Structure formats: C-alpha cells, structure tokens
C-alpha cells in the first residue's frame, strides 16, 4: 500500500504542474469593433482564447489584436500592447486593481514578467524581475507622502502580488483620496451534494497465527451492500478540483478453516471465523478532468481516512463455544482511485457517476490485522452550488 501512496502523490504533483488552465466557463468577449459576444470562454496562455455559444457549439479562437477584453468567472481580462526594449507583444492581462493606477497580471508569467502597471495616460509598464523596483520609482512620482515613499525603499521591495497591491492602493489613496480602487477577486466556487452507491466489500485477514493446526488468514467472501454519504467539491468547474467526502458502508462475512492434527491424519474438525466492520470513510481527493465535452470524463485519486464504528469478530466450531475476538476500533488509512463521468441533466443540475476502489488497512488498535477491499459504483448529485 505504501507504493500506491507514492504513485498517487507523484501523479497529483504532475497533474497540478501541467493543468493550470481551466476548461470552458461562462463569460463574454468584447471585440475590437465593440461587439459583445456571450457564451463560454477558455483561455490558452496569454495570447489565445476560445469562445463557444454552448457545450455543443463550435469553438472560435481570438487573439489579443481581435478583442478589447474578455470576462470569465467574473474576472476581466484586457488586451494590451507591452513594449520592452523595442519589442512589442500583444497580450491578455488579468485585471487585479482598477483605479487611478491599475494593476494587471499575466495568467501565465513569461519569464520574469508577471505583473503590469497601467498609468493614467493608459500606457502600460511591464514590471519585470529586478527592474520592477526601478520602474515603480520612475512611474509613481506624484505622491510625496513619507509613509508611501518608505514603502518604495529597496530593502522593502519583493516581487509578489501582495507587495504590488499595497503599493498601488497606497499610491491611489495618496494622489486621489476621493477615488476608490476596486480589487478584482476570483470567485470561490463550491458545491455540496449526496452520494449513493452499490459496493462489493471484502476482507483480507492477515493476522499471523502461530497455531500449527489451523490458519484463518486469507480472503473472506464478498459482501454486497451499499454506500451512503455526502461530498464537498472546491472549484468544481475547474480542470483540477479538490473533493472531500464522508461515507458510510460495512462488511459482514465469515468462512470455515479446517483444523488438522499431524499426529492423527483422520482427524476432522473446523473453526468458523466471522467478522463485521461498520465504518466512516473520509476521502480527500484531487479530481482531474481529462476529456471535456458535453460529458466531462475525470479521474480522481487521494488519501482515505477511516474510522471504525463497529469492529467485531467471532470464532465457533465443533466442541467450541461461540467466542468473541476482542478487537479495538479506531482510525485507519487507505486510498481512493476512481474514474467518473460528469453528466449534465439541466442548466444547473448535474449527476456524477463513478467507478472506484476505496481500500484501507484494518487495525485492531495499533495492530495491522488485514486489508479491507472495496469496489464501488456510486452516483453523486450536487444539492447546493455556490
């Protein structure tokens, strides 16, 4: 199971590194002629976006020279000409602060360039790397307030959004105290829903027995039952999102173990071992959409914490009174791997169907006594979306 954890971790890091772009989300574009087109927008880098009327409509691409701006998920991007060392680039810039002096950022930094100022004359100042401090001092000259000038001292400078935000807001308050600077915040989306499914649960009992006459270890029969719970998805319309679940399911099963006697080959007897476990599973997973059409296909993986509500075992057999195996319930750990599909039912209604596995370690207190195996077919429906 440790190897599985390592594989999951490496996979999630790779996905996070290669999937900064989101899929289509509702938005609009304003063309260079001033026409407004509504639909769904997807950005690709800083120089290209795609627009479609809906998930079944064809896509059309736009470059910065064709648009004035575009908006997606409530965040405005403008088309701007940036000139550095005589070289001009036409890029899309994300609006961060709108005011007397405005601040923009690049969704995908180009080298050391991640932030851009817009001056009152509508010209743009690229804040690139180590030159950013010099350019700030050259551009922000109208404020002589000592407190503001102290912020611009070289030992206080660091190339980070929080620093530029403080500088721009303080400068605007100093020069235009009656005007407000508006900050653009990315909307935080989440959804809460219910999960219901059918599962095939199984125990793999591996508590090492020193008894030479019988061995109860091994796979126990499959127990077909249900799983019930709820989920919370953070940023559900993104390509990469985070999911938290709370699930309830259980296992019941037993099997006979043959008892042998090396001194008497004709001896025949058995022991019947049975186990029952009811538990809450709390998986924390990353969900990655790898195919975005009218139906969105995704994979998900992550860690699964479990808490045994009930953990009991019994031994019975010939000439043996039913005996309870003393076991202590508690916390354990496992993992979740799944493949799913996101099905639109209506404009704001969706259904998730998912095939997955959710195993965990079975522990009697601190002792590892086996592994729980679970194959699940679940459906989930968002009940509340923000």
112, 146: one domain? yes
pLDDT score recorded for residue 109: 81
Contact indicator for 374, 338 with CB cutoff of 8 Å: no
Examine residue 11 and state whether it is found in any structural domain, yes or no. Answer: no
In this structure, the dihedral spanned by the alpha carbons of residues 134, 139, 140 and 144, taken in order and rounded to 10 degrees, is 80
Examine residue 123 and state whether it is found in any structural domain, yes or no. Answer: yes
Q: What does each C-alpha distance from 150 to 142, 156, 158 come to in angstroms?
A: 14, 8, 14
Examine residue 117 and state whether it is found in any structural domain, yes or no. Answer: yes
Contact indicator for 52, 59 with CB cutoff of 8 Å: yes
Q: CA-to-CA distance for 298 and 311, rounded, in angstroms?
A: 34
322: left (phi over 0), alpha (psi -120 to 50) or beta: beta
pLDDT tens digits along 219-260 = 999 999 999 999 999 988 778 899 999 999 999 999 888 777
Q: CA-to-CA distance for 233 and 190, rounded, in angstroms?
A: 5
**How is residue 239 written in tokens?**
């390509």
Which CATH number fits the domain that encloses residue 218? 2.40.160.20
pTM attached to this predicted model: 0.60
* Residue 280 CB partners (closer than 8 Å, separation 6+): 246, 247, 248, 306, 307, 309
Of 183, 213, 248, the residue at which a domain comes to its end is 183
20-29: average pLDDT: 70
96, 206: one domain? no
pLDDT tens digits along 251-291 = 999 988 877 777 777 777 888 889 999 999 999 999 998 88
Q: What's the residue count for the chain?
A: 386
Q: Is 174 helix (H, G, I), strand (E, B) or coil?
A: helix
143, 257: one domain? no
286, 369: one domain? yes
Q: CA-to-CA distance for 306 and 360, rounded, in angstroms?
A: 7
- Between residues 304 and 214, which one has the greater pLDDT? 304
Examine residue 5 and state whether it is found in any structural domain, yes or no. Answer: no
Examine residue 4 and state whether it is found in any structural domain, yes or no. Answer: no
In this structure, the dihedral spanned by the alpha carbons of residues 329, 332, 337 and 338, taken in order and rounded to 10 degrees, is 40
Of 116, 148, 183, the residue at which a domain comes to its end is 183
Contact indicator for 282, 214 with CB cutoff of 8 Å: no
Contact indicator for 222, 6 with CB cutoff of 8 Å: no
Angle, CA of 172, 134 and 112, to the nearest 5°:
100
- Between residues 13 and 206, which one has the greater pLDDT? 206
Of 183, 202, 227, the residue at which a domain comes to its end is 183
363, 224: one domain? yes
285, 216: one domain? yes
Among 197, 192, 280, 189, smallest CA distance to 230 is for: 192
267, 307: one domain? yes
Examine residue 240 and state whether it is found in any structural domain, yes or no. Answer: yes
287, 310: one domain? yes
The most confident of the ranges 45-49, 160-164, 361-365, 375-379 is 375-379
For 110, the domain range is 23-183
102-123: average pLDDT: 90
| Count of domains observed in the chain | 2
- Between residues 1 and 357, which one has the greater pLDDT? 357
C-alpha atoms less than 13 angstroms from C-alpha of 75 in its C-beta half-sphere = 21
pLDDT score recorded for residue 73: 79
293, 179: one domain? no
pLDDT score recorded for residue 270: 82
155, 272: one domain? no
Examine residue 268 and state whether it is found in any structural domain, yes or no. Answer: yes
- Per the prediction, the chain carries an average pLDDT of 86
* Residue 18 CB partners (closer than 8 Å, separation 6+): none
211, 346: one domain? yes
Contact indicator for 132, 154 with CB cutoff of 8 Å: no
34, 119: one domain? yes
136 DSSP assignment = H
- Between residues 178 and 21, which one has the greater pLDDT? 178
pLDDT score recorded for residue 5: 43
Query: Does position 12 have pLDDT exceeding 50, yes or no?
Result: no
Examine residue 359 and state whether it is found in any structural domain, yes or no. Answer: yes
């Amino acid at each position: 199971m440790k190897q599985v954890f390592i594989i999951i971790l490496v996979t999630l890091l790779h996905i996070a590194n290669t999937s900064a772009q989101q899929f289509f989300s509702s938005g609009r574009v304003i063309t260079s002629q001033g026409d407004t087109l509504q639909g769904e927008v997807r950005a690709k880098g800083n120089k290209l976006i795609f627009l479609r009327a809906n998930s079944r409509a064809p896509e059309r691409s736009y470059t910065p020279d064709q648009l004035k701006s575009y908006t997606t998920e409530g965040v405005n991007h403008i088309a701007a000409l940036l000139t550095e060392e005589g070289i001009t680039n036409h890029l899309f810039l994300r609006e961060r602060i709108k005011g007397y002096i405005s601040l923009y950022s690049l969704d995908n930094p180009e080298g050391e360039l991640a932030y851009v100022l817009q001056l009152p004359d509508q010209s743009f100042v690229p804040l690139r790397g180590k030159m950013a401090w010099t350019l700030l001092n050259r551009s922000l000259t109208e404020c002589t307030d000592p407190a503001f000038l102290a912020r611009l001292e070289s030992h206080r400078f660091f190339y980070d959004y929080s620093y530029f935000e403080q500088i721009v807001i303080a400068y605007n308050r100093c020069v235009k105290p009656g005007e407000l600077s508006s900050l653009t915040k990315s909307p935080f989306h989440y959804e809460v829903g219910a999960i219901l499914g059918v599962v095939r649960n199984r125990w793999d009992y591996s508590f090492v027995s020193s008894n030479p006459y019988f061995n109860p270890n091994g796979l126990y029969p499959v127990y077909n039952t249900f799983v019930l719970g709820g989920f919370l998805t953070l940023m559900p319309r993104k390509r990469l999102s985070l999911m938290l679940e709370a699930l309830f399911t259980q296992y019941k099963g037993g099997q006979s173990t043959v008892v042998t006697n090396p001194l008497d080959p004709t001896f025949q007897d058995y022991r019947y071992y049975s186990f029952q476990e009811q538990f809450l599973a709390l998986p924390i997973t990353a969900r990655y959409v790898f195919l975005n059409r009218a139906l969105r296909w995704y994979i998900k993986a992550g860690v699964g914490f479990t808490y045994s509500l009930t953990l009991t075992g019994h031994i019975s057999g010939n000439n043996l009174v039913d005996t309870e195996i003393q076991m202590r319930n508690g916390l354990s750990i496992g993992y979740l791997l799944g493949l799913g599909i996101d099905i639109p039912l209506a404009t704001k209604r969706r259904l998730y169907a998912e095939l997955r596995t959710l195993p965990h370690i079975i522990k009697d207190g601190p002792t590892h006594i086996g592994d729980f195996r679970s194959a699940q077919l679940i459906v989930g429906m968002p009940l509340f979306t923000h």
